[in-house]
Amino acid sequence: MQQLLDGILEGLRLLFTGDAVLWEIIYLSGRISGIALVISAVLGIPFGAFLGLARFRGRRLVQAIVYTGMGLPPVVVGLAVYLLLSRSGILGHLNWSWIPQLFTVPAMIVAQVIIATPLVVGYTMAAVSEVNPDLRIQVRSLGATPLQITLAVLCEARLGIIVALVGGLGSIISEVGAVMMVGGNIEGSTRVLTTAIMLETRRGNLDLAIGLGMVLLLLAFLINFGVTQLQGKGN
Amino acid sequence: MAKIYDLQNVKRVYESRTVVDIDTLEIEDGEILAIVGPSGAGKSTLLRLLNFLEYADSGLIRYKGQEVNAQLPLDFRRQVTTVFQRPALLQGSVEENVVYGLRLRGKKNGKGEVLEVITRMGLEKLRRARARTLSGGEAQRVALARAVVVRPAVLLLDEPTANLDPYNISLIEEVVREINRVQKTTIVLVTHNVFQAKRMAHRIALMLSGKIVELSRTQDFFDHPRDPRTRAFANGEMIY
């Protein structure tokens, strides 16, 4: 109990005294997950909207693949990206400049995009599917083009889409398996909150580990609080 | 009067069931045409065909001389709009709903028109109210305002006053008659209510099992029906 209290106090001290190492880790975590989320949103929202609105042969199969992707274990994603990007991997051996190298920030972003995108697609699809189908016909009757109909539906489903983004962010900012495998937890370069917590725990620096854990929890709380506020406004 | 729609041998089939089977139907520019008939007669499907929301499986529909198909230009599509029985309103305020059709058309200076229509529909006090909190009658008035503000050449009404109270029915009917008279908007009104058809329409068509049984001027429809089924329907008897 005392250790936990000490950890919390230490965490607060590090946070509010502007500890450079801690803030660097927070900044890097936010940057990696933020960029990964933006890419996932750009890929996932249009695709999720398409799956929610369009009817085509094989749609159920694609949906099943998306749902499977939503439950991808991060460590498996990490392994897959590792195998792809390693020197002897399918992409790594090509040695093209635009292909990210292992143990770099871009490799971590690739892994997080793979984890977050199916979540964004799946939640967006569900949100769009729940929009009253009569509304699409009504909007079309008012003279909307297919793009305008899609935008109207997305606008109606905006709260669900925000939840999709939060779900995606929550999954990547708190995962450890993939970033550890492809990032390597290199100090000052690829060390993020989750890998730092793991390292400090192993080192026996439980105070710092608890402090980092508190920061992670605080971030999760702030994000979710923001969402509930938005939902309150939406209702 | 010139004809605005011309339908020839139009069939619409859902899973081997023919829901619309019209040999010929001409709708005149500027008229109020009521389409009456029992549930399942194909009235709403006919409206969807007239609004280009779906297409005939065979036959020909012409709108202002232009063949109706998936390639119909957007300018033509935007001349026709429908008010449905169940108004589907967007999230946001009454005003945001009413302005929506103008926004789709890229019109940014429609504030005056929007306020005018909102006032005409008796919605001025609800202007900033959330559309989803309105009663059925208020919501239907918003739906009608949203359709009217874009000044359509053709306004299609699918049971617009079903389940509404007398005040809302009276207001909606009055506004519809007014835009027909002032703006020369062609109105196609689908209704179960034969008395509403009598109050509103210049001509009435009776639809049964996807076919137009009789189409005549309103007075003739009631006073000199040609078909015994028309007489039965006009007398309020059930026809199935």
A12 or A105, greater pLDDT: A105
Report the pLDDT value the prediction gives residue B234, as an integer from 0 to 100.
Answer: 83
Select from A137, A143, A145 the Cβ nearest to the Cβ of B101.
A143
A2 or B191, greater pLDDT: B191
Residue B187 domain-assigned? yes
- Statement: residue A235 has pLDDT above 80: no
Given CB atoms, is A229 within the 8 Å cutoff of chain B? no
Q: What is the pLDDT of residues B106-158, one digit of tens each?
A: 988 788 999 999 999 999 999 999 998 999 999 999 999 999 999 999 999 99
Report the pLDDT value the prediction gives residue B238, as an integer from 0 to 100.
Answer: 57
- Statement: residue A112 has pLDDT above 90: yes
Given CB atoms, is B198 within the 8 Å cutoff of chain A? no
Average pLDDT value for residue range B210-227: 95
Average pLDDT value for residue range A157-173: 91
Domain containing B82 — which CATH number? 3.40.50.300
Cβ-based contacts of B104 with chain A (< 8 Å): 142-145, 148
Select from A132, A143, A155 the Cβ nearest to the Cβ of B88.
A132
B173 or A226, greater pLDDT: B173
Given CB atoms, is B97 within the 8 Å cutoff of chain A? no
Q: What is the pLDDT of residues B170-212, one digit of tens each?
A: 999 999 999 999 999 999 999 988 999 999 999 999 999 999 9
Chain length of chain B: 240
Any residues with CB less than 8 A from the CB of A230 and at least 6 apart, and which? Answer: A159, A162
How distant is the alpha carbon of residue A125 from its chain centre? 17
Q: Which CATH class is domain A2-234?
A: mainly alpha
Under an 8 A CB cutoff, do A142 and B74 touch?
no
Q: What is the pLDDT of residues A196-222, one digit of tens each?
A: 999 999 998 887 888 888 888 888 888
Given CB atoms, is A163 within the 8 Å cutoff of chain B? no
Residue B239 domain-assigned? no
Cβ-based contacts of B77 with chain A (< 8 Å): 143
Under an 8 A CB cutoff, do A234 and B91 touch?
yes
Report the pLDDT value the prediction gives residue B239, as an integer from 0 to 100.
Answer: 53
Average pLDDT value for residue range A87-107: 87
Residue B107 domain-assigned? yes
Under an 8 A CB cutoff, do A140 and B100 touch?
no
Interface predicted TM-score of the whole assembly (ipTM), two decimals: 0.91
**Sheet (strand B17-28) strand order:** B17-28, B3-14, B58-63, B66-67
What's B143-165 look like in SS3?
HHHHHHCCCCCEEEEECCCCCCC
Select from A134, A152, A155 the Cβ nearest to the Cβ of B84.
A134
Tell me if B10 sits within 8 A of B211, measured CB to CB: no
Residue B91: HSE in the Cβ half-sphere, 13 Å Cα cutoff: 13
Chain mean pLDDT for chain B: 94
- Under 8 Å CB pairs connecting chains A and B tally to 48
**Based on the structure, what is the number of domains in chain B?**
1
Cβ-based contacts of A134 with chain B (< 8 Å): 84, 86, 88
Average pLDDT value for residue range B24-41: 95
Residue B175 domain-assigned? yes
- Statement: residue A171 has pLDDT above 70: yes
Under an 8 A CB cutoff, do A143 and B90 touch?
no
Select from B84, B88, B150 the Cβ nearest to the Cβ of A143.
B150
Distance CA B56, CA B45 (A): 10
B43 or A224, greater pLDDT: B43
Given CB atoms, is A137 within the 8 Å cutoff of chain B? yes
Select from A132, A134, A148 the Cβ nearest to the Cβ of B104.
A148
Report the pLDDT value the prediction gives residue A230, as an integer from 0 to 100.
Answer: 73
Banded model confidence at residue A135, pLDDT cuts 50, 70, 90: very high
Report the pLDDT value the prediction gives residue B120, as an integer from 0 to 100.
Answer: 94
Please give, rounded to a whole number of angstroms, the shortest distance from the CA of B224 to a CA of chain A.
Answer: 36
Average pLDDT value for residue range B52-80: 96
Residue B32 belongs to what domain range? Answer: 3-234
A22 or A150, greater pLDDT: A150
Residue B72 domain-assigned? yes
Q: Output phi, psi for B165, to 5 deg.
A: -80, 165
Q: Which residue of A has its CA nearest to B47?
A: A141
